[in-house]
Amino acid sequence: MEKNLLTELQEYFEYLEKEKGYSNHTISSYKNDLKVQFFGFLKETYTSEMPSLSDIDRSVIREFLGKEIGLKKSSRTVARRLASIKSFFKYLIIRGIVKNNPASYVKTPKLPKPLPNYVDQFNISALMDAPDCSSEKGLRDRAIMELFYSTGIRLNELIQLNLEHIQILTKNKFLVKVFGKGGKERLIPLGKTAKLSLDNYLKIRNLSFEIAMQTIPLFVSTEMKRISRRTVQNRISTYIKQVSAGSGIGPHTLRHTFATHLLDNGADIRSIKDLLGHSSLSTTQVYTHLKPETLKKIYEQAHPHGGK
């Protein structure tokens, strides 16, 4: 049955790529959770013969998750492993290969909800001034950070941008077309400061948003190839660490900062949800966190008896 399991798994990965439109990064996570970790556990546990799909019940899945916990894996990692297994069996049900999803009966570990890191408003100017804008690389890095802060887009969304995805409505109104998770398209307003930084960066490349070859990548490496995830992560993390402390600092910090500053300045959380491209409001609430003075201000403005 090992061959059948692995065959179904490979077809599942192709389904995620071709039909669901998942990124390579997301698919790699699924491969690690399922092919490396879960099926690695099955091989180790059932040394004589791999179990069939019908043999994988909730007790097997619980045993696997218990081993992960015993290895001191975080509750977030264990929860992701379970979610990957659930997703795989959901696909098998759609294909008519199995009738039930055994992972549905396994309780997800309780996850901690730490507040995400973000850059304070009074440190934003210092952050944007960190790159050396006398060089092309510095102009690029400044434009990347301004774009992250202006739009709140994800790292993968930024990397995929071409010149054609910046839409000029009028002299002072601009939009960015991004393709989020599952290939979902959304339009996000682009601020004047970010647009100016992009213009300065493109100027040194002898490009502009009006040129005919619009499929040119918006951000490129020194070898003039589309910029990589690792390059953006390393460069942006270095700059943010100059103005902000904490763990997990990187491009996503600017996504948190975008959402937090909008909320702190009175934006509606449902509007922020749409700008971030979230499917549920609960996800947006993880990205945003209110200061006590902001809560007080919103309460006084919104509640009939909230004023002085």
Catalytic residue numbers, as ranges:
154, 181, 252, 255, 278, 287
Residue-wise over 153-189: b if at least 16 C-beta within 10 A, else e?
A: bbbbbbbbbebebbeeeeeeebbbebbbbeeeebebe
User: Which structure tokens are listed for 129?
Assistant: 């001034």
CA distance 68 to 75: 9
Structural tokens at position 97: 């290969």
Q: How far, in Å, CA of 135 to CA of 113, rounded? A: 40
- Token pair of 260 as six digits: 């937090």
Q: End-to-end distance of the chain based on CA atoms, in angstroms?
A: 71
Q: Is the dihedral of CA 77, 83, 87, 88 positive or negative?
A: positive
CB-CB contact of 165 with 180 (8 Å): no
The helix/strand/coil state of 223 is: coil
Closest to 263 in 3D by CA, of 152, 176, 156, 173: 152
CB burial class (10 A; 0-12, 13-18, 19+) of residue 126? middle
Strand, helix or coil at 186?
strand
Q: State the virtual CA torsion across 174, 258, 278, 269 in degrees, nearest 10.
A: -100
Q: Which residues does 44 contact at the CB level (< 8 Å), separation at least 6?
A: none
258, two tokens: 């975008």
